[in-house]
Amino acid sequence: MPFDVSLENVWKQYHRGLTRGADPFWAIREVALEVPQGSSLGVIGRNGAGKSTLLKLLAGITAPTRGRIVIHGRVAALIEVGSGFHPELTGRENVYLSGAILGMRRREIAAKFDQIVDFAGVEPFIDTPVKWYSSGMYVRLGFAVAAHLSPDVLLVDEVLAVGDAEFQIRCLQRIQELRAAGTTMLFISHDLTAVERLCDAAILLDRGEIAARGEPSAVVAAYHRRLALWDPWTDEASVDSPRSGVGVVNVTLADPDRPGAVAFRTGHALVVTIRYAAARPIQGVEVELRYYSADGHTRLAAPRTGEDGIPLELHPPGGAIEFRCEALPFKAGGYAVGAVIRQITDGRVLAWWDGDTRLYVEGGPQTDAQLYVAHSWRLLPDGDGSATTDGSKLREGSRQQAGDAGRMVADQAEESAERLPPSSRRPG
Amino acid sequence: MAQVSTRDRVTVYEPPSLARLAPLTALSRLSQSGDLLLTLSVHRVKVRYKQSRLGILWAVMQPVAMMLVFTLMFAFLRTAPSGDVPFPLFAYAALIPWTTFSTGLTNAATALTSHAGLLTKVWFPREILPLTYVAAALVDMSIASVVLAGLLVWYHVPLTMHALWIVPMVFVLTGFVIGLGLLLSAVHVRYRDVGLAMPVLVQAWLFATPVLYPLSSVKSKLPPALYAVYLLNPMAGVVDGFRRALVLRATPDLQALAVAGIVVALLVPIAYGYFKYAESTMADRV
CA dihedral sign of residues A150, A154, A155, A159: positive
Provide the shortest C-alpha distance from residue B254 to chain A (in Å).
42
Chain A environment of B129 (Cβ under 8 Å): none
Q: Is residue B46 within 8 angstroms of chain A, CB to CB?
A: yes
CA dihedral sign of residues B174, B177, B183, B187: negative
Cα dihedral A298/A301/A307/A308 (nearest 10)? 180
CA distance linking residue A186 with residue A259, whole number of Å: 23
Fold of A237-361: Coagulation Factor XIII; Chain A, domain 1 (2.70.50)
Chain B environment of A79 (Cβ under 8 Å): 121-122
Q: Is A260 helix (H, G, I), strand (E, B) or coil?
A: coil
Q: Where are the alpha helices (DSSP H) in A205-364?
A: 216-228
| Residue type present at position A300 | L
Alpha-carbon radius of gyration of chain A: 25
Q: What is the pLDDT of residues B125-147, one digit of tens each?
A: 999 999 999 999 999 999 999 99
* Nearest residue, CB atoms, A96 vs list B39, B51, B122: B39
CA distance linking residue A365 with residue A373, whole number of Å: 10
Partner residues linked to A343 by β-bridges:
A285
Helices B234-246 and B254-279 cross at an angle (nearest 10°) of: 130
Q: What is the pLDDT of residues A142-166, one digit of tens each?
A: 888 888 888 888 888 876 556 667 7
What phi and psi values does residue B81 have, to the nearest 5 degrees?
-85, 25
Chain A environment of B16 (Cβ under 8 Å): 63
Provide the shortest C-alpha distance from residue A15 to chain B (in Å).
10
- 263-282 in B: which are within 8 Å (CB) of A? 280-282
- Cross-chain Cβ contact A69/B6 below 8 Å: no
- Cross-chain Cβ contact B7/A37 below 8 Å: yes
Nearest to B145 by CA among B47, B246, B71, B41: B246
Q: Is residue B31 within 8 angstroms of chain A, CB to CB?
A: no
In this prediction, residue A233 carries a pLDDT of 43
Q: How would you classify the pairing of strands A312-314 and A299-301?
A: unpaired
Provide the shortest C-alpha distance from residue A335 to chain B (in Å).
29
Task: Report the 10 Å Cβ neighbour count for B167.
Answer: 9
pTM of the model: 0.72
* Nearest residue, CB atoms, A64 vs list B9, B13, B33: B13
Adjacency order of strands within the sheet including A24-36: A24-36, A3-15, A66-72, B10-13
Q: What is the pLDDT of residues B177-221, one digit of tens each?
A: 999 999 999 999 989 999 999 999 999 999 999 998 999 999 999
- Cross-chain Cβ contact B36/A56 below 8 Å: no
Cα dihedral B85/B91/B93/B97 (nearest 10)? 160
- Cross-chain Cβ contact B2/A62 below 8 Å: no
In this prediction, residue B167 carries a pLDDT of 96
* Nearest residue, CB atoms, B123 vs list A60, A68, A88: A60
| Residue type present at position A369 | A
- Cross-chain Cβ contact B3/A150 below 8 Å: yes
Helices B128-154 and B58-77 cross at an angle (nearest 10°) of: 50
Question: HSE (CB half, 13 Å, CA atoms) of A133?
Answer: 30
Q: How would you classify the pairing of strands A299-301 and A24-36?
A: unpaired
Q: Is residue B77 within 8 angstroms of chain A, CB to CB?
A: no
Local confidence band at B40 (pLDDT 50, 70, 90 cut-offs): confident
- Whether a cis peptide bond, with omega within 30° of 0, leads into B130 is no
What is the chain A residue with the closest CA to B29?
A103
Q: What is the pLDDT of residues B58-90, one digit of tens each?
A: 888 889 999 999 888 888 887 777 777 888 999
Identify the segments of chain A with pLDDT beneath 70.
1, 17-22, 81-83, 159-164, 225, 227-243, 354-356, 384-428
Q: Where in chain A is the domain with CATH 2.70.50.60?
A: 237-361
* Nearest residue, CB atoms, A64 vs list B11, B14, B47: B14
Provide the shortest C-alpha distance from residue A99 to chain B (in Å).
9
* Nearest residue, CB atoms, B13 vs list A69, A80, A178: A69
What phi and psi values does residue A60 have, to the nearest 5 degrees?
80, 10
Chain B environment of A178 (Cβ under 8 Å): 1
Q: What is the pLDDT of residues B217-276, one digit of tens each?
A: 999 999 999 999 999 999 999 999 999 999 998 999 999 999 999 999 999 999 999 999
Q: What angle do CA A189, A195, A201 make, to 5 degrees?
A: 120
In this prediction, residue A248 carries a pLDDT of 82
- Cross-chain Cβ contact A70/B11 below 8 Å: yes
Chain A environment of B13 (Cβ under 8 Å): 57-58, 60, 63-64, 68-69, 71
Check: CB of residue B236 under 8 Å from CB of residue B209. Answer: yes
CA distance linking residue A99 with residue A145, whole number of Å: 6
Check: CB of residue A151 under 8 Å from CB of residue A73. Answer: yes
Q: What is the pLDDT of residues A255-264, one digit of tens each?
A: 998 887 788 9
